Chain A
Amino acid sequence: EVQLLESGGGLVQPGGSLRVSCAASGFTFGDYAMTWVRQAPGKGLEWVSSISHSGPNTYFADFVKGRFTLSRDNSKNTLHLQLNSLRTEDTAVYYCAKERGAYPRYGTDVWGQGTTVIVSS
């Protein structure tokens, strides 16, 4: 069974940093692109970032460019989203999702339960 388990969320002050991670199991992690999507309180789903299966290709929403970085360790079946220069508007549940293909833009098929990031002083 394909499973994705996010971790690393928490409370951080504005301007601070946090790393959220996604542990994958049940599939050959290195064969698939991965994506992060977030949902702010009371809002809809919002795409954050995606990465190709082997990692060199990353894509970011304009509102996180230059602040967030995305990496993966295929030997450990783990995805990492580094959140820097955090703003109150980054408060959200962050979901990781598996893509259907080696590169993004094939659509996602399985999502994790999410990890909550709260940016507040």
Chain B
Amino acid sequence: DIQMTQSPSSLSASVGDRVTITCQASQDISNYLNWYQHKPGQAPKVLIYDASTVEKGVSSRFSGSGSGTHFTFTIISLQPEDIATYYCQQYDDFPLTFGGGTKVEIK
């Protein structure tokens, strides 16, 4: 199974800060990676697919980069509505696997 190691598990930042989350795959997954935003009681929302493509309708303050085994997700300027848990997920091979999640809070 491909293990996805996501860090940090939580972070606290100020409005306007740049926030970065990383995801490390245990083997090469090319660019087969999604980034999700999940708010309590809501459906998870895909923000980034294929590691760096921003989903239609998603704010340009979200971005993704990386390929192979190392990936980065960035919120360029944190806003109050960005409070959520963020997950990476690989779809290179079964079983599909997720990172452990990063809970983002406002300082």
Interface residues of A, Cβ cutoff 8 Å to B: 35, 37, 44-47, 50, 59, 61-62, 95, 97, 100, 104-114
Count contacts on B: residues with CB < 8 A to the other chain.
26
- Contact A105 to B49, CB < 8 A, known contacts A45-B38, A113-B42: no
Whether A107 contacts B98 by the Cβ 8 Å rule is: no
Interface residues of B, Cβ cutoff 8 Å to A: 32, 34, 36, 38, 42-46, 49-50, 55, 85, 87, 89, 91-101
Query: In the docked arrangement, what's the CA distance between A45 and B94, Å?
Result: 15
Whether A113 contacts B49 by the Cβ 8 Å rule is: no
Whether B94 contacts A108 by the Cβ 8 Å rule is: no
How many Cβ-Cβ contacts under 8 Å join chain A to chain B?
A: 63
Whether A107 contacts B101 by the Cβ 8 Å rule is: no
Whether B87 contacts A45 by the Cβ 8 Å rule is: yes
Closest to B38 in A: A45
Among A44, A47, A112, A114, contact of B96 (Cβ-Cβ < 8 Å)? A47
- Helix, strand, loop or mixed for chain B's interface? loop
- Helix, strand, loop or mixed for chain A's interface? strand
Whether B98 contacts A46 by the Cβ 8 Å rule is: yes
Whether A45 contacts B95 by the Cβ 8 Å rule is: no
- Contact A45 to B34, CB < 8 A, known contacts A95-B43, A100-B49, A107-B50: no
- Contact A105 to B97, CB < 8 A, known contacts A45-B44, A111-B44: no
